[in-house]
Amino acid sequence: MRILLVLGLPVLAIIVIAGMISMKAAPPKKERVDLDPIVNVIHLETMSTNFEVRSQGTVRPRTETIVSAEISGTITEISPKFVAGGVFQRDEVLMRIDPTNYIVGLKQAEAIVKQRQIEFDGARTLRSQGYRAESELASAAAALATAEANQVRAELNLERTFIRLPYEGIVRAKETDLGQFVNLGSRLGVVFATDYAEVRLPLTDDDLAFVEMPNAAAITATGGVDGPAVILSANRKGKPTEWPAVIIRTEGVVDENSRVTYAVARVADPYRLHTAGESLPMGTFVGALIEGTSAASVIRVPRGIVRGSDELIFVDDENQLRIRRVSIVRSDANFVYIDSGAAPGDRVVSTALSTPVNGMLVRISGELEVTTETSSSSGREAE
């Protein structure tokens, strides 16, 4: 009995404990919480686009002239328009050099021509009468030609007392004044034409691949041929303003320091003297948007979703992440354009992920809402 009692008590205790455990209620089961990240995706599509190239530059006059005296004398007249910023017309007299000496010089030249003409006529008459006057006639003819040339020079010098330009323009700087004596070659001022302005636009080699530049061999008397359209922009009077322009040529060389090629854009009537609109003064720094070449069947995605230089995060049919490299043909401030490595219909993650890993499961934001609504509807039907 004592042996049975010693062996039976542990067995009895085990049986009692097992019974108590079996009588304990099972803990409630918790629903599994899905911790896969929720992401937004973009469905890729092909498109056709015209690429745009951005540059910048400073507005410069196409034609600028340092006005110099072609004769010597005292400035006796100055136009009120010959001041910095003054607008003048083609062939308008801007100043006058004292013409007195040149009027006298012209009269003397005219008198000498008359005298030499008489001498020539006399020598020709003698020859016609049979006298041997060949040398006298030749000498008289040479003297008459010299006198006539001196008359032309005297007329030209008198005309040069008028200072005028063969174009409509604006005075940049006035460097002489009334009563000042000037010599041949003295600087009188600086002026520029207002028919056109030009902007030198630096372009990299990559930029040139997307801009159809005019052929240098096609430069004409007007300075170039019309190439790609350009929109120039700057703030004028506190407001963003735009001006149309056109690329007319390139400078034909690569800058040794910056390794860029300069294209030249032309703006017609920059001061709006003959057209309506806001003027574009010389010296204005402008941005330039150049019309580029067109491309078909490219895929455009926001620049901000590209990882590194050329990677996108795709989502496959099983909602797993796939990181792939793509071929970017062109990029700008907002978008990148892809020609291979992605296909229409692909889903690309547009949500920022801190540590994306190939094969990571994700939940798509739009699909998650659809699933939730469907589950709720099914629950209500079951009730």
State residue 296's pLDDT score.
84
Whole-number Å distance between alpha carbons of 309 and 290: 24
Strand-pairing partners, residue 41, are 349
Task: Work out the mean pLDDT of the chain and round it to a whole number.
Answer: 86
pLDDT > 70: percent of the chain:
84
Question: Considering the entire predicted model, what is its pTM?
Answer: 0.72
- pLDDT tens-digit series, residues 325-368: 999 988 888 899 998 899 999 999 998 888 888 999 999 887 65
Across 297-320, average pLDDT: 91
Would you say residue 34 lies in a domain?
Answer: no
Residue 275 lies in a domain: yes
User: 153 and 124 in one domain?
Assistant: yes
pLDDT digits (tens, 9 = 90+) for 139-160: 999 999 999 999 999 999 999 9
Same domain, yes or no: 185 and 207 = no
- Do 57 and 201 have their domain in common? yes
Q: Which two tokens stand for residue 221?
A: 């008397």
Average the pLDDT over 108-119 and give the result: 95
Q: Is residue 236 part of a domain?
A: yes
Tell me the pLDDT tens digit for each residue of 3-21: 655 566 666 667 767 666 6
Burial class (CB in 10 A: 0-12, 13-18, 19+), 196: middle
Q: Is residue 268 within a helix (H) or strand (E), and if so which, with residue range?
A: strand 261-268
- The distance in angstroms from the start CA to the end CA of the chain is 64
What stretch of H or E contains 295? Answer: strand 285-302
- pLDDT for 162 equals 96
Say whether both 285 and 327 belong to one domain.
no
Residue 280 falls inside a structural domain: yes
Q: How far is CA 356 from the centre of its chain?
A: 39
Rounded to the nearest 5°, which phi and psi values hold at 246? -150, 140
Q: Provide the H-helix boundaries in the chain.
A: 2-23, 100-128, 134-159, 205-208, 365-382
Domain boundary among 294, 315, 344: 294
| DSSP letter (8 states) at residue 383 | -
pLDDT at 128 over 90: no
Question: What CATH number is given to the structural domain containing 88?
Answer: 2.40.50.100
Rounded to the nearest 5°, which phi and psi values hold at 106?
-70, -40
Cα angle value 235/237/240 (rounded, 5°): 30
CB proximity list for 193: less than 8 A, separation 6 or greater: 61, 62, 63, 64, 167, 168, 169
Q: Tell me, yes or no, whether 251 and 303 share the same domain.
A: no
Q: Judge if 327 and 345 occupy the same domain.
A: yes
CB distance 312 to 348 below 8 Å: yes
**Residue 325 belongs to a domain with what CATH number?**
2.40.420.20
Structure tokens at 227: 């190439």
Of residues 133 and 259, more confidently modeled: 259
Residues 315, 362 contacting (CB under 8 angstroms): yes
Q: Is the pLDDT of residue 311 over 60?
A: yes
Assess if residue 285 is contained within a domain. yes
User: The domain containing residue 94 runs over which residues?
Assistant: 64-98+162-194
The answer to whether residue 345 sits within a structural domain is: yes
Sheet of 95-97, strands arranged across: 162-163, 95-97, 73-78, 181-182
- Structural domains counted in the chain: 4
Whether residue 176 sits in one domain with residue 77: yes
Distance CA 327, CA 337 (A): 8
